[in-house]
Amino acid sequence: MRNLIRQIVNIIITIAVIVVNALANTLPINGQTTGEVSDQFDVYFVPAAYVFSIWGLIYVALVAFTVYQALPSQRENPRLQRMGYLYALSGVANIAWIFLWHYEQFVWTMVVMAVLLLTLIAIYLRLGIGRKRGSTAETWLVRVPFSLYLGWITVATIANATQLLNYLGWNGWGIAPEWWAVIMLAAATLITLAVSFTRGDIAYVLVIVWAFAGIALKHSDTLLVSISAWVGAGIVLLSLLIGIPLRLDRLERKPVEEVSIRDRW
């Protein structure tokens, strides 16, 4: 019964997240779209508008995950049990962020974004992405969705932080905004390299490349930022040439029964 409840909760959460995000731009919530709120900030780490279309792919992937985890055959899947209610928590954080963002509670958006990021990291680690082999179905319907989601939220967290600092009037310790953008790009690149080398996660890396390309194109008139973004995209893409072989060499097949009850929660 406990696993059935978890399956139902996940279905409800996915529907709620998609509905709220759709209403955010169709109503829109508080009379402004998500993009219109973002446009209030003149920061370099925010990519071109078209890049945000990746949300469509992420939500399609999450719907696929939701359907898969709801199957009777997956009710006792130890990997999914290990997630517990973390997915539900991520959905609540996603919805809360939308309302806080649209009502311009920017300090709280950062807090909620951090909760969302940490929740997705916990899911990522519990699924053993890039560390343990899984079936083809589980790879495409569970692991890839969360790789895409975590990759994008990694970028979104950094962007949210830069927008918050802009809102608070932070002077950057006298460092020019362009150089701060380079620093943020470098930080995102290092994070992605860590994921690439330790997990060989193609989906995660491609999301970062997509975001970096969007930053480069949006700020093509600022060469320092544009070139840095293209260089970062190239570096993380090339890292897969090392990361994927390392992952294949490291992967080991373990029966799901080895997952302990303690690890499921």
Tell me how far apart the terminal alpha carbons of the chain are, to the nearest angstrom.
16
Helix (H, G, I), strand (E, B) or coil at 182: helix
Question: What would you measure as the largest C-alpha separation in the chain, in angstroms?
Answer: 58
Sign of the torsion formed by the C-alpha atoms of 198, 199, 200 and 204: negative
CB atoms < 10 A from the CB of 179, how many?
14
pLDDT in the model for residue 247:
77
Decide if 238 contacts 209 (C-beta within 8 A): no
Decide if 51 contacts 234 (C-beta within 8 A): no
**What is d(CA 116, CA 159) in angstroms, rounded to the nearest whole number?**
14
pLDDT tens for the 265 residues of the chain, in order? 899 999 999 999 999 999 999 999 999 999 999 999 999 998 999 999 999 999 999 999 999 999 999 999 999 999 999 999 999 999 999 999 999 999 999 999 999 999 999 999 999 999 999 888 889 999 999 999 999 999 999 999 999 999 999 999 999 999 999 999 999 999 999 999 999 999 999 999 999 999 999 999 999 999 999 999 999 999 999 999 888 887 777 665 444 434 433 333 3
**What is d(CA 111, CA 122) in angstroms, rounded to the nearest whole number?**
17
CB atoms < 10 A from the CB of 227, how many?
13
The pair of structure tokens assigned to 212 is 């970096």
Q: Is 194 left (phi over 0), alpha (psi -120 to 50) or beta?
A: alpha
pLDDT in the model for residue 252:
57
DSSP conformation letters of 123-162: HHHHHTTTTB---HHHIIIIIHHHHHHHHHHHHHHHHHHH
pLDDT in the model for residue 256:
45
The angle that helices 202-218 and 177-199 make with each other, rounded to 10 degrees, is 160
Decide if 129 contacts 146 (C-beta within 8 A): yes
pLDDT in the model for residue 264:
37
The angle that helices 223-250 and 202-218 make with each other, rounded to 10 degrees, is 170
- Number of Cα atoms under 13 Å in the Cβ half of residue 233: 18
Closest listed residue to residue 192, CA positions, set 169, 64, 24, 184: 184
Using only C-alpha atoms, the chain has a radius of gyration, in whole angstroms, of: 19
Residue in the block written with tokens 């897969």? 240
